[in-house]
Structure 1
Amino acid sequence: MKMNPWTLSVLLLLAGPLGADPDWHVEYPDSFCVVEGSTATIPCSFTHPKVHKETGAVVDRVERVVWCPKHQICQGPTPNVYDSSNVRADSRFLYLGDLVRNCTLKIIKTVKRDAATYRFRFETNGGGYTGQKGVRVNVTVVKNVRLTVSSTDGEDLKVRSSVTDHVLKEGGQVTLTCTSACSFHQLDVHWYRNGHTLSETGPALHLSCLTNDDAGNYTCSLDSSGQKTTSAPWSLVVLEDEGRNKCGSDWRVTVPVVSVLLAVFLFLLAGLVFAKRSAPGPEHEIVYSEVVR
């Protein structure tokens, strides 16, 4: 069966370098979900042989890397979101990888049109290769839940707790998890208490050694401003535990004991200093012996 040159060239491009073997490889997840407006990371790695199997040429450097959506080949003038040889690539797509092995891509503030199958291609001094499988990125819209009682029905973004009770004692601990209809695969999640930004980020917030300062309404957001895609609040009440501090030690007993011991130590130290100053020195002993004579 005859095959026209164009079809043959396309098949070769899809397969990578002529005579490609398993050493030419791109690895990324099949697909994952991204919440609109959030920042997500596509993990990716690639490998290539040290020597071209067919030509025997040494493959010792990667000269160009490209990420493109909705295209099988990802080569030449194909529209792309990142091209290491083009400084005018889309600024929302950041290449976190290198020219050695890592091809990770970060998507900032995703929008609906970002939904696509993305493929990575790298070109070396001995040939090029495109990760044919690609990774499907699905973008889902999460409702913004305003802080009202009626809006909690059907919300997409929620704060879930590791405990069933909202009332905890001092010294206790709890882990809050931000969840949605879309899985949080390396998403940037921001946390707030009573509307104030917390320094902790990530899908999970761990609170330990609880004190009354930890009490309040906790919300999570996929937007650093806290104005978009914000969850309904999860309220935490911390009860004072008589005789214990936030980490469970008996401070009402410990503090007085330490105070007494410190006072005794200072008293003994003062007595030692006073006794040392009152003791006769060598010159006093000489004078005394002369008087006796």
Structure 2
Amino acid sequence: MKMNPWTLSVLLLLAGPLGADPGWHVEYPDSFCVVEGSTATIPCSFTHPAGLRVERVVWCPNHEICQDPTPNVYDSSNVRADSRFLYLGDRVRSCTLKIIKTVKQDAATYRFRFETNGNKYNKYTGRKGVRVTVTNGEDVKVRSSVADNVVKEGGQVTLTCTSASSFHQLDVHWYRNGHALSETGPALHLSCLTNDNAGNYTCSLDSSGRKTSAPWSLVVVEDEGRHKCDSDRSVTVSVVSVLLAVILLLLAGLVFAKRNRRHAQKKASEVFQKQEVDRKQEAVGASKEVSYATVHFKSNSLRSAPGPEHEIVYSEVVR
């Protein structure tokens, strides 16, 4: 059957390079739930046959192959793409996408496409896509690991932020009595409870804190028995104190040893210098004694051996 070249090209693009080569693949979840105003991360990975180099990556909404002129939320060859969609992947294996401050209009089916070097068919789109839904966050709730809201001092409790949507990798923020806590993540673990931990806990998927769950109230009651966490804390403090004392002693010993070593080196240097000076003085003295002996020897030789001319002069005077 004769087929139009344009139709053949479309079929190849839909099926993947060279007709669904198993070396080409994109993997992401089937669906993804995002709460309006929150930040979410869509996990994604891809593979391609060895020997190829990825030159372009694209994320697009509601299109089977992310082909032009489809508007893209991210395009590595276009720096003017939507800045709320942040590409966390690379051009090797990861294609993870982060959506910042989601809005209702972000609800869509997103697909990832990558293009490699080589002929025009070396490109692939994960046709399955990931369906993203956006909720208003009103169904977000706090669930507790304990049956009621009353916990004894020294006890522990784990609070979990849940939603009717099976949200994934969302930025969860926690609050106590309306004040933001430093802890983040879907679970909040509280241990060694004291009265300071009591209060109303809420969670939010919106960093602004305007859309929070219904409050969950924690009541901490006094325990007349011995608190295990208190004894553990005392043991920890004692161990830390001993370790600090040992470290200080070691440091003092090192300083003392270093000072003694410097002093010994200084004394040895002084002794060596003195020995050098003494050797030089002895050498100079020996040289002077040799010179004096030579001069004395020559002088004596002249006096004890008068020449014949003197004898002749004396003899003539006598006559």
Give the alignment's TM-score, normalised by structure 1.
Answer: 0.72
Alignment correspondent of 1:46: 46
Could you tell me how far apart the structure 2 residues matched to 1:238 and 1:286 are?
140
Q: Which stretch of structure 1 is more off in the superposition, 109-118 or 186-195? A: 109-118
- 1:266 CA displacement: 18
Residues 1:251 and 1:67: Cα distance change in structure 2 (over 3 Å): closer
Q: How many angstroms apart in 1 are the aligned matches of 2:36 and 2:143?
A: 21
| Distance in 1 between residues matched to 2:249 and 2:311, nearest whole Å | 29
RMSD over equivalenced CA pairs, Å: 17.1
Deviation at 1:240, TM superposition (A): 2.1
Deviation at 1:247, TM superposition (A): 1.2
Using the aligned pairs only, state the percent identity.
Answer: 90
- The answer to whether 1:241 aligns with 2:223 is yes
Alpha-carbon offset, residue 87 of structure 1: 0.4
The alpha-carbon distance between structure 1 residues 96 and 249, as it changes in their structure 2 partners (threshold 3 A), is: same
In 2, distance between residues paired with 1:285 and 1:165?
A: 145
Does the CA contact (< 8 Å) of 2:199 and 2:218 recur in 1? yes
Contact 1:211–1:246 (CA under 8 A) maintained in structure 2: no
1:181-213 CA-to-partner distances (Å, cap 9, x unmatched) read 212211111000011100111111111111111
Aligned 8 A contact 2:109 2:131 in 1: no
- Gaps (5+ residues) in structure 2? 119-123, 259-302
Q: Against the structure 1 CA distance between its residues 222 and 280, is the aligned structure 2 distance closer, same or farther, given a 3 Å change threshold?
A: farther
| Structure 1 residues 45 and 279: CA distance shift in structure 2, 3 A | farther
- Larger of the two Rg values belongs to structure: 2
Q: CA 1:244–1:16 in 2, change beyond 3 Å: closer, same or farther?
A: same
The CA deviation string for residues 195-254 of structure 1, in whole angstroms up to 9 with x for no partner, is: 1100111111111111111111100011112112x1111111111223534715288999
- Contact 2:84–2:100 (8 Å) recurs in 1: yes
Change (3 A) 1:15 1:272: closer
Which of 60, 69, 74 in structure 2 is aligned with 1:77?
69
Q: CA deviation at 1:76?
A: 3.0
Would the alpha carbon gap of residues 275 and 65 (structure 1) be closer, same or farther in structure 2, given more than 3 Å must change? closer
Pairwise CA distance, 1:8: 1.5
Q: Deviations over 1:128-174 (max 9, x none)?
A: x111111xxxxxxxxxx99999xx99961211101112111111111
2:36–2:137: 8 Å Cα contact kept in structure 1? no
Distance 1:154 1:132, change over 3 A: closer
In 1: Cα distance, 2:153 partner to 2:312 partner: 67
Matches of 1:167 and 1:106, distance apart in 2:
39
Structure number with higher helix proportion: 2
For these two proteins, the number of residue pairs brought into alignment is: 267
Gap change, CA 1:63 and 1:243, over 3 Å in 2:
same
Which of the numbers 291, 303, 312 marks the counterpart of 1:286? 312
Distance 1:124 1:245, change over 3 A: same
Q: Is the 8 A contact 1:36 1:112 kept in 2?
A: yes
**1:120: how far off?**
0.5
Once residues 103 and 201 of structure 1 are traced to their aligned partners in structure 2, the CA distance between those partners, rounded to angstroms, is 25
1:122: how far off? 0.6
Q: What secondary structure sits across from 2:239 in the alignment?
A: helix
Deviates more, 1:271-280 or 1:70-79: 271-280
- Return structure 1 stretches of 4+ with deviation > 6 angstroms: 145-149, 250-293
Closer, same or farther: CA 25–164 of 1 in aligned 2, 3 Å: same
Query: What is the rounded CA distance, in whole Å, between the counterparts of 1:27 and 1:183 in structure 2?
Result: 18
Shift of 1:33: 1.5
Alignment gaps of 5+ in structure 1: 50-60, 135-144
